[in-house]
Amino acid sequence: MQFTVAIDGPAAAGKGTISRAIAREFGFAHLDTGLLYRAVGAKGGNPVLAAQELTPDDLARADLRSLEAGEAASRVAAIPEVRAALVAFQRDFARREGGAVLDGRDIGTVIFPMAEVKLFVTATPETRARRRWLEADEKSASYEDVLNQVRERDARDMGRADAPLRPADDAVLLDTTEMSIAQAVDAAKASIARKLAQVQAQKQP
Q: Summarize the annotated binding site as residue ranges.
A: 9-17
Strand partners, 172: 119
The annotated binding site for ATP is made up of: 9-17
CA distances from 156 to 52, 78, 167, 194 (A): 23, 8, 16, 34
Q: Buried (b) or exposed (e) across 170-205, using 16+ Cβ within 10 A?
A: ebbebbbeebeeeebbebbeebbeebbeeeeeeeee
| β-strand pairing of 117-122 with 172-175 | parallel
CA distances from 41 to 15, 183, 198 (A): 21, 33, 40
How deeply is 36 buried, as exposed, middle or buried, from its count of CB atoms within 10 A (0-12, 13-18, 19+)?
A: buried
CA distances from 133 to 103, 170, 204 (A): 21, 32, 48
User: 40 near 47, Cβ under 8 Å?
Assistant: yes
